[in-house]
């Protein structure tokens, strides 16, 4: 009888490894012969645009200046206030994640979150009424990023929601984010039922006021950036895994919370809510990253990416050298693990401002710091290590404040470079949650996703055009 494998197993395997060295190094340590091949995806962009940016005499100094601002930025928690006070929102305005969006183009989870917020604010009486007023244009929609604000998933922020207020001691910059609702059926995932409305009302009437008193009574502002740095050394990556960060935030805030002049039942419920919310820190980490990336805005000649954000329909990026201009493409659907009986057909395309974490160099860029994350988003531990190795090749520097233990305490890969992305053909890696595509569903899973290449193609062309104009 002939060998069905054609003698494949008759001799030791011959292994050819492509990409980062972590795989071939591990095999060699086990005495396996490995041949390395320097392969990578094809690059993109016109040769003229690539040459224009590569030879721009401003680029090195501009990127150095932008990176220095990012690394120097700090983040301290100074207050908790309602959105109507800090954002100066026009009447009947809702903020949302990602680039600009209209109701007609909004996805299911975005529509669900907008409808839920309209009901929460009393601008609509029920879901049908909310859909009517939104479709009629009676409520203005504007991106969170246009207001120095970030919001996870749908990111919908309304005037009555309480906001974390953070400042950068280095530049004086400010950034804001609403409070995290927890997991499951929540507004940010597009749910809007009675359970969601009851929680939002409690957060408005109890959680926000208690946190405001607690934060204001602290002897000194909470150093949120320091917590993020510690998280990476405790198994978190700062986007989809925030367990250590949330516990550290609870430890820092709880002495002030218990001293708040409020009913003991309210204090107990606030502590239970924070302690049971593994993503409590995320809404502090996101404005921390926003502060750092905003510090790099407006540097002519810089090819550094300052924003990556998604609204459930489109993915958008901004760069230091092109200011507030958006470069967009269709949002991809994450690939990962699903909750319960949900599957790929239930997932909405990528959504949320939380990709600001990867823009800053944590989250998917620092997966090596949190190998346990693969149990939540899929993949394997070697995948997590290889992803971080690959992200170093897309970035301009390493952040010494954000050290990754398993990488020999190397700083996280920071400062996505449009030119490097175009040259390598590799796209940034993002860890993300998945919202159900049907409004009202809530979370269906978590996974991994990349931006559409079109965003970087557009940014590359715009940066080259700006370079030519600068002469």
- State whether 180 and 255 are in the same domain: yes
pLDDT in tens, 46-96: 999 999 999 999 999 999 999 999 999 999 999 999 999 999 888 899 999
Of the listed ranges 24-28, 200-204, 460-464, the least confidently predicted one is 24-28
- State whether 398 and 445 are in the same domain: yes
Task: State the Rg of the chain over Cα.
Answer: 23
- State whether 444 and 307 are in the same domain: yes
pTM, to two decimals: 0.91
Position 464 confidence tier, pLDDT thresholds 50, 70, 90: very high
- State whether 61 and 77 are in the same domain: no
- State whether 313 and 232 are in the same domain: no
Rounded average pLDDT over 24-31: 59
- State whether 65 and 202 are in the same domain: no
Average pLDDT score, the chain: 93
Residue pair 253/291 in contact (Cβ under 8 Å)? The answer is no
**Residue 12 lies in domain:** 1-39
pLDDT in tens, 275-285: 999 999 999 99
Q: Which of 267, 287, 307 is the last residue of a domain?
A: 287
More confident residue, 378 or 247: 247
pLDDT in tens, 229-279: 999 999 999 999 999 999 999 999 999 999 999 999 999 999 999 999 999
Q: Which of 287, 314, 330 is the last residue of a domain?
A: 287
- State whether 342 and 456 are in the same domain: yes
Q: Is the pLDDT of residue 1 over 80?
A: no
CATH number (domain holding residue 343): 3.90.1700.10
Rounded average pLDDT over 5-13: 55
- State whether 56 and 138 are in the same domain: no
- State whether 247 and 99 are in the same domain: yes
Those residues whose C-beta lies under 8 Å from the C-beta of residue 373, and which sit 6 or more positions away, are 237, 240, 241, 367, 384, 431
- State whether 57 and 187 are in the same domain: no
Tell me, what's the pLDDT at 45? 94
Q: Is the pLDDT of residue 37 over 70?
A: no
Q: How far is residue 405's CA from residue 425's CA, in Å, rounded to a whole number?
A: 28
- State whether 26 and 119 are in the same domain: no
Rounded average pLDDT over 361-383: 90
Q: Is the pLDDT of residue 450 over 80?
A: yes
Position 349 confidence tier, pLDDT thresholds 50, 70, 90: very high
- State whether 23 and 101 are in the same domain: no
Q: Provide the domain count of the chain.
A: 3
Tell me, what's the pLDDT at 22? 46
């Amino acid at each position: 009888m002939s060998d069905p494998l054609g003698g494949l197993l008759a001799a030791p395997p011959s292994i050819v490894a492509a990409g980062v060295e972590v795989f071939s190094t591990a095999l060699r340590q086990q005495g396996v012969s490995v041949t390395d091949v320097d392969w990578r995806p094809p690059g993109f962009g016109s040769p003229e645009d690539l040459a224009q940016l590569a030879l721009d005499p401003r680029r090195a100094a501009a990127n150095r200046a932008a990176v220095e601002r990012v690394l120097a930025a700090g983040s301290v928690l100074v207050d908790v206030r309602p959105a109507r006070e800090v954002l100066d929102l026009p009447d009947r305005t809702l903020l949302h994640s990602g680039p600009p969006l209209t109701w007609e183009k909004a996805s299911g989870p975005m529509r669900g979150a907008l409808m839920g917020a309209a009901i929460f604010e009393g601008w609509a009486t029920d879901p049908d009424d909310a859909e009517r007023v939104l479709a009629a244009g009676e409520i203005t929609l504007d991106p969170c990023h246009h207001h120095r604000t970030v919001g996870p998933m749908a990111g919908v922020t309304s005037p009555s929601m309480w906001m974390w207020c953070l400042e950068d001691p280095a530049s004086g910059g400010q950034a804001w984010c609403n409070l995290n609702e927890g997991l499951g059926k929540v507004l940010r995932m597009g749910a809007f039922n009675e359970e969601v409305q009851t929680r939002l009302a409690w957060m408005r009437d109890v959680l926000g006021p208690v946190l405001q008193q607690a934060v204001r009574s602290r002897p000194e502002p909470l150093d949120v950036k320091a917590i993020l740095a510690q998280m990476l050394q405790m198994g978190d990556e700062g986007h989809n895994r925030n367990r250590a960060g949330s516990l550290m935030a609870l430890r820092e805030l709880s002495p002030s919370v218990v001293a708040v002049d409020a009913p003991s039942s309210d204090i107990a419920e606030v502590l239970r809510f924070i302690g049971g919310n593994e993503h409590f820190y995320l809404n502090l980490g996101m404005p921390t990253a926003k502060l750092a990336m905003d510090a790099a805005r407006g540097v002519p000649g810089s090819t550094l990416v300052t924003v990556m954000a998604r609204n459930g329909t489109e993915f958008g990026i901004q760069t230091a050298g092109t200011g507030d201009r958006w470069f967009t493409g269709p949002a991809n659907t994450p690939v990962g693990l699903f909750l319960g009986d949900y599957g790929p057909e239930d997932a909405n395309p990528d959504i949320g401002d939380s990709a600001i974490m990867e823009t800053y160099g944590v989250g998917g860029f620092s997966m090596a710091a949190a190998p346990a994350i693969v149990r939540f988003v899929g993949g394997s531990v070697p995948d997590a290590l290889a992803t971080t190795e690959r992200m170093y090749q897309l970035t301009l520097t390493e952040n010494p404040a954000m050290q990754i233990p398993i990488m020999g305490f190397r700083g996280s890969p920071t400062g996505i470079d449009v030119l490097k992305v175009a040259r390598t053909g590799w796209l940034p890696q993002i860890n993300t949650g998945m919202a159900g595509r049907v409004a009202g569903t809530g979370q269906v899973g978590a996974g991994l996703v990349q931006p559409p290449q079109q965003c970087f193609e557009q940014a590359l062309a715009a940066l080259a055009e700006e370079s030519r104009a600068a002469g």
